[in-house]
Chain A
Amino acid sequence: MQYVAMTADDARALDRELKKGSAELLILSLVDARARHGYEISKLIESRSGGAIRFNVASLYPLLHRLEERGWIQGRWVEKAGQRRRRFYRLTPDGRRMLATQRTTWQAFVDAISRITDPELA
């Protein structure tokens, strides 16, 4: 028995994982350049996406903690003179390797989608 269509359940799961998967890629990319804190990360995502992607604060920090638990980022409280204490996150070596993998996978996904959506050649 062949099962040729993606099931509706697959589609819902895909939608969920689309956001979740891309969120990890976004966060790892942003802390690759330098260490950032949570508020800065959420603002950068919003501004660089032109407002298309916004992070709910209730899900951002638990996600940061999960990435930290996996060892991909490392958080550190920093208290600067005249400023409140903030937790900065930077990429770890494991995180750098994961970022490379996710970039490759994401690119392959994009290419695959492109092959489908590009006009057919005669």
Chain B
Amino acid sequence: MIDWRHEARARLRLTSSATDRTRDLVDETADHLRAHYEALRGRGLSHDDAFAEVVGELEVGVPHDGNASPSWMEGLLRDVRSAIRTVLRAPAFAVVAVTIMAIGIGASATMFSAIDTILVRAVPYPDADRLVAISETNRADAGVRGVSAAMFTELQRATSFGAVSAWRYWGYELGGTPEPERLRGARVSASHFALLGVRAVAGRVFVTGDDAPGQPKRVVLGEALWRRRFGGDTSIVGRSLDLNGDVYTVVGIVPAGFALPDADLWVPLVFASYELDQRGTRALSVVGRLAPAATASSAQGELDAIAERLARQHPESNGGWGARENSLREEVTGAARTPLTLLYVATVLVLAAACVNVANLLLARGAVRRRAIAIRLALGAQRRRVMRQILGEVMLLSFAGATGGLLLAMGGTAYLSRLDASAYALPSASGVGAAAFGAAQLMHVDLAVVAYVTIVAIAVAAVIGLAPAIDAARLDPASLLRGESGGRQSRWSRLTLRDLPVVAQTATATTLLIGGALVARSFREAQRVPLGFEPAHVLSFNVSLPASRYASSGERALFFDRAIGAIHARPGVQGAAVVSHLPLAGGALETDLTIEGRPLARGGERPTAQVVNVSGGYFAAMRVALLAGRTFDARDRERGQPVVVVDSTLAERYWPHASPIGKRMRLGGSIGADTAWREIVGVVGPVRADRIETAARPMVYVAYSQNAWPSMTVVARTDDDALRYADVATASIRTLDPSRPVYNVRSMTEIVDRQLAPRRLQTSLLLVFALAAVLLAITSVHGMLAFAVAQRSREIGVRAALGATRRAILVLCLRRAMSRVLVGIAAGAVLAIATSRVLQSVLYGVDASDPGTIAGVIVLLALAALLGALIPAVRAASLDPMRSLRAD
């Protein structure tokens, strides 16, 4: 007696028998097997033969749980295999789609990394939202400056701040070796590292008391210098170094990437007594941490009160001056935020255009596969399954595009990280922001970028897969198989949803191209700004004279006189001079003035000006125009009448109706403790000293022969490429004193280019993105018209058969394409004008809604789109009417 239920359960390898469903399955199968066996036995088969035939019907080796449907994992694997096969069967389409997505995702990921590194992680200190930058402000020109030493001592007593610290950059010469090296150092308050929460990787950071007068000299090294110069040996901690001829003990090493301030080494900031008296010298950068109970507005209130009190007590130096606090994050990143955000938005627009383009390609491809899909649906395929397969193909393309995008982002971040920090934005006026962009060198593809790319890939797949999947879901197989196209064909001229991709991409290209053109014009305007001097063919380098060997002003002046003479004597050198602060190189000194015979303005506001120390040949070497009087010459000796040269900005401001020649002024405390009246002997043209895009501020030049400072920049005008003369010039210095290192060797052109670097970067990136968007738009126009022509070939054949000329068909096609393009261009132009206020903040010398630029872009884009539409239009005009009418 055969137990058919046992046979059914065993042959079907049921994994569970507990459910009603399974029991039903077993019962029915057993019943079927029994009936079949009895039928076979009734026909005369032996037991063995009948049994073998019956059980042979059962699938063997396939586990069942009572449900013959594959598990979700089997279904997923099947879909993945199916997706791979489908994609590989159309390699050209796959390559194009993946490339387009890779470009869009890669660009967006690169800018995401830039924003993450420069804006988000620029202030990587604990509780960074409580950190503020403090600066003094001048009411007369609404300018922001550093802080004076006297003001800093007031801030140390303020209750709104739990701690404050100050710093200023200082050059150090690392001696004790055959090749002394010039290093970038900074003098910082002892509380600085603790305030920022920075810990040493070896030894310790400064502690309270390290900056007290009379303390032994201590230094903290940066990790980069420690590894490069000292081999990463921790035994350097506790050893002595020769810095500027003095002995400093190394107390610790701070980690690489610390850039507030950005220096090779840090030394405690100790104020000399005269510095506390120089209230008009505002050279310190200051950060503070808000006290637990304080807010930004309460801190600002206290700063206002301190400033008012100091103005009452010291009107000659503090009259007309205020103080402000600003979030450290804003101070450090503010200048870069808008440009980087705009660039990121541009990449998102390109990514959106890329998605639309690929979605369009998928729809076009899907249109051809509709009949096959309709047959499958007609024969019982589940719509869900068909949609899943389409989405699977899209996910595969999207992740392949994301992988390509990640590789592009690696290249993009590698390129951006090698740019000089100034390529992102110029430092803030308070001096605090100068530090930030060192972090840009740390930009790379990390987990954050990988996560971003993954999310974008999923979002892209969802966006581009949605349309074809919905199209498949709504497909009516019966009507499609009866010969209907599955959608009514609209008139040629009517705008439909299918035209949306072309309109959207054209609008995107228009907006980006207008933005790119405006930024490019700003760059050109900035390049054309009259600087007040001629930077081409000018070499510059720095030399510092140690006090131990050049103690007197006379000795220093003699050294530089000889140096200038030796350099000028070299063939190819037209002129040489020294200057304390090169224009556009940062670090200009500012001081207040007392003008003889001119009473203080109401409220005690004192005139201020930038002060630059130059030798007589400076103006000729730099080609700064002499407008009146003379420049410095042999008459201006150390013990002679102190003289100054002023620029025309200062002259017009304080002597608008008279010549300033012969007038006298006194400078603030920045020039030592000297309070001599200085006679104005000449007026020169204005020089852009801070930034190219900032108007020249009043400037006073003092004669180096009368004020011989130890650290100066040598400038030499040459016949051709300035850097070719670098070795010759530095050899001249070595001949005079072999122990003097020469550093910061660069051309003036290089310095000017650094100023223009942010604009250059913005312009080149934005134009690249705009070009990508334009190419996508042209491809879309071409594809749209080619598809329309293919869909309507019968209609075109009918028109041609009824007498339409080739020209008429060409015009019909071009009109269809250009009507969509013009709608897109109009939308893009409106969007560009609507967002012009945002763009204006990054422009220079050009209006964000400049009609000339917008009109130019419109014409250019329309011509480009016309070019894209030409080929399918010509093809349509060349169609053989008989062939198109016969074709199905």
Contacts and interface: CB of A to CB of B under 8 A. Distances in A.
Do these two chains really belong together in a complex? yes
B378 A109 contact: yes
A104 interface: yes
B62 A4 contact: no
Label chain A's interface by main secondary structure: helix
A57 B57 contact: yes
A58 B481 contact: no
A61 B93 contact: no
A24 interface: yes
Given A39-B31, A56-B57, A61-B25, A4 B69 contact: no
A9 interface: yes
A65 interface: yes
B379 A59 contact: no
A13 B364 CA distance: 22
B96 interface: yes
Contacts of A109: 375, 378-379, 481
A94 interface: no
B92 A7 contact: no
Given A1-B96, A14-B375, A85-B27, A58 B62 contact: yes
Nearest to A42: B32
A39 B36 contact: yes
- Residue in A9, A14, A75, A106 whose Cβ sees the most chain B Cβ within 10 Å: A9
A24 B378 CA distance: 12
A38 B29 CA distance: 9
Contact of A111 (B21, B381, B482): B482
Given A21-B380, A22-B380, A3 B478 contact: no
Kindly name the residue among B57, B375, B376 whose own CB sees the greatest number of chain A CB atoms within 10 A: B375
Interface string A1-22: 1111011111001100110111
Interface string B61-98: 01010111100000000000010011001101100100
A14 B372 contact: yes
B497 interface: no
Contacts of B364: 1-2
A39 to B, nearest CB: 5
A108 B482 contact: yes
Contact of B368 (A4, A9, A86, A106): A4
Nearest to A41: B32
A71 to B, nearest CB: 15
Contacts of B62: 58
A46 B21 CA distance: 26
B702 to A, nearest CB: 73
A1 B31 contact: no
Nearest to B477: A105
B33 interface: yes
Interface residues of B, number: 49
B35 interface: yes
B361 interface: yes
Which of A14, A58, A60, A62: most chain B Cβ within 10 A? A58
B804 interface: no
B475 to A, nearest CB: 12
A36 interface: no
Contacts of B633: none
A96 interface: no
B12 interface: yes
Contact of B67 (A42, A62, A102, A105): A62
A38 B700 CA distance: 107
B25 A20 contact: no
B31 A84 contact: yes
A38 B24 CA distance: 12
A37 to B, nearest CB: 8
A77 B736 CA distance: 115
Contacts of B82: 9, 13
Contacts of A108: 378, 477-478, 481-482
Contact of B379 (A14, A56, A66, A111): A14
Interface string B8-32: 0001100000000100110111011
Interface in A38-87: 38-39, 42, 56-66, 75, 84-87
Contacts of A20: 379-381
B3 interface: no
Contacts of A75: 24
Contacts of A122: none
Given A17-B376, A20-B380, A21-B379, A1 B28 contact: no
A112 interface: yes
B93 A13 contact: no
Given A21-B380, A65-B25, A86 B369 contact: no
Contact of A57 (B32, B86, B96, B483): B32
B657 to A, nearest CB: 77
Interface in B335-386: 361, 364-365, 368-369, 372, 375-376, 378-381
B381 A13 contact: yes
B29 A57 contact: yes
A59 B33 contact: no
B379 A58 contact: no
A13 B25 contact: no
Contacts of B24: 65, 75, 87
A57 B7 CA distance: 13
Contact of B376 (A1, A2, A14, A59): A14
Nearest to A112: B481
B369 A3 contact: yes
B88 to A, nearest CB: 10
Interface of B: 11-12, 21, 24-25, 27-29, 31-36, 57-59, 62, 64, 66-69, 82, 85-86, 89-90, 92-93, 96, 361, 364-365, 368-369, 372, 375-376, 378-381, 477-478, 481-483, 790
Given A10-B372, A17-B379, 11 more contacts: A2-B790, A3-B369, A6-B369, A7-B372, A13-B381, A18-B379, A37-B31, A39-B31, A42-B32, A63-B68, A108-B477
- A-B complex: 5 closest residue pairs judged by Cβ atoms: A21-B380, A21-B379, A62-B68, A58-B59, A17-B381
17 contacts: A1-B92, A1-B364, A2-B365, A2-B368, A4-B368, A6-B372, A7-B86, A8-B85, A9-B89, A13-B82, A58-B29, A61-B28, A64-B28, A65-B21, A65-B25, A65-B67, A105-B481
Interface of A: 1-4, 6-10, 13-14, 17-18, 20-25, 37-39, 42, 56-66, 75, 84-87, 102, 104-106, 108-109, 111-112
